[in-house]
Amino acid sequence: MLAQGFRVLQREGHSRARVGELSTAHGVVQTPAFMPVGSQATVKGLSSDDLTGLGFEMVLCNAYHLYLRPGHQLIAELGGLHRFMGWSRSILTDSGGYQVFSLAPLCKVSDDGVTFQSHLDGSLHHLTPERVIEIQESLGADVAMTLDECLRYPAAEDAAEAALLRTTQWARRSRDARRRPDQLLFGIVQGAHYPGLRARAAAALVEIGFDGYALGGLSVGEDKEVMYVALDAAVAELPESAPRYLMGVGTPEDLIEGVAHGMDLFDCVMPTRHGRTGWLFTSFGRVLIKNAQYARDESPVDPTCSCPVCRSYSRAYLRHLFLAKEMLGVRLNTLHNLHFFATLMTGLRDAVRQGRLAEFRDQFYANREACQT
C-alpha cells in the first residue's frame, strides 16, 4: 500500500499558489488538479482508458447517487468502486449533501441527519454522518467527504451560522465513525458568503482534525469577489500542510483564480455538461458548435489544441454530429473539453513551479480579449 498524505513541493512567492502531491492508496495526484465528475461511476461518454490517456489521476464519484443506484453494498460485493468502474487511479467520493438538498423532492434536516425522498422512485431515506461514512467506506473511495448542510444563495447570516454549527457537529461524528485506515477523510467548510463564518468553520474543523479540507457552498450565485474573500478567510485558518479542495467550482477562470488563492483540488460538471450541449472550450473562449458559421468550417475547434479531436476532426463535422444527435458528437466534445481542462492544470502547475503565475494569468485573459475585439 502506498503511503498516504499530502506534501507541498513548492510555493509561489507572489500568491498563495502551490504545487504538491496527494498520495492515496491508488497513486499520486499532482496538485493543483482538476477531477472529472463521474457521479454515477462514469464520466459520461468516456471510458477509464480515455481519462487515463488525458492524464487525469483522480475522478469524483457521488455517494448519494451510488447509494440509491445500484447500492453501495452491491458495489462492495463486486469488489469495490475501483473494480466496478474499471478505474485503477484515485477516487474521491462526495458525501452527497449537496445532492440531497438540491435533488430531493422532500428534505428534512435535524441534528441527527437528513431525511429525504429519492428523486428516482420517491422512497424515503435517512442519512446520518455515520451512515455517510459507512457508505463511502463500502465503496472503497480513496478520499471521503463528511456530511454537510448546504444552503441556497443568498442565505441569511443566522441561517448560515446554524448550518455551520450543524455541519461542524456532523464533521466530528464523521471523524469518529471512520474505520478504514486506507481512506483519507476531508472536512467541509461552510459559512455561506460570510467571511467571519468561513473563518470560524475552518478553525473548528482544524481543531477536530482531518486529512484535508474542502470549501463547499460557493459559486452558487454570489459575485466572484465575494467568493474570493470567503476563500481567503477560510484559507487563513487552514494548515499549510493539508490539501484544500474547492468543491463544484470549475470555469477556467475559476481554476486560475482558485489556484492563486491557494486551492489544490477542483471538480465541476462544466466540461462534460457543456460537451453534451455543444459548448467547447478553447484558448480564445467558448465555441458553440451548432452555430451556422461552422457548417463549412474545415478548421479544428482550436488550432492550438493537440487533443485527438482537434487533430482529426473539423468544426463542420462536429457541428453535423451535434445537430444529428449522434452519440459520437457528445463523446468527441467531451474529450476535447476535458483535454482543455487537463492542459490548463498542467500549465498552472508549471507556472507556479516557475514563479510566473501572474504572467500565465495575464496571458490567458489577453488571449480571450484579443479574440473578442
362 is catalytic: no
> CB of 245 within 8 A of CB of 212?
yes
Catalytic residue among 94, 148, 254, 264: 94
**What are φ and ψ of residue 338, in 5° steps?**
-70, -30
C-alpha span between 128 and 324 (Å, rounded)? 45
d(CA 364, CA 253): 9
Active-site choice (142, 211, 264, 267): 267
DSSP conformational letter for 2: -
User: 97 — phi, psi (to 5°)?
Assistant: -55, -45
Residue 340's SS3 state is helix
Burial 146-166 (b: 16+ CB within 10 A, else e): bbbbbbeeebeeeebbebbbb
Q: Does 50 qualify as catalytic in the annotation? A: no
In total, the chain counts a number of residues equal to 373
Q: What is the DSSP string of 353-369?
A: HTT-HHHHHHHHHHHHH
Letter string b/e over residues 320-342, b meaning 16 or more CB atoms within 10 A of that residue's CB: ebbeeeeeebbbbbbbbbbbbbb
Identify the residue whose cell numbers are 492524464: 55
The rounded distance, in Å, linking the Cα atoms of 143 and 132 is 13
Give the C-alpha distances (Å, rounded to integers) separating 190 from 34, 149, 275: 21, 8, 30
Active site residues: 94, 267
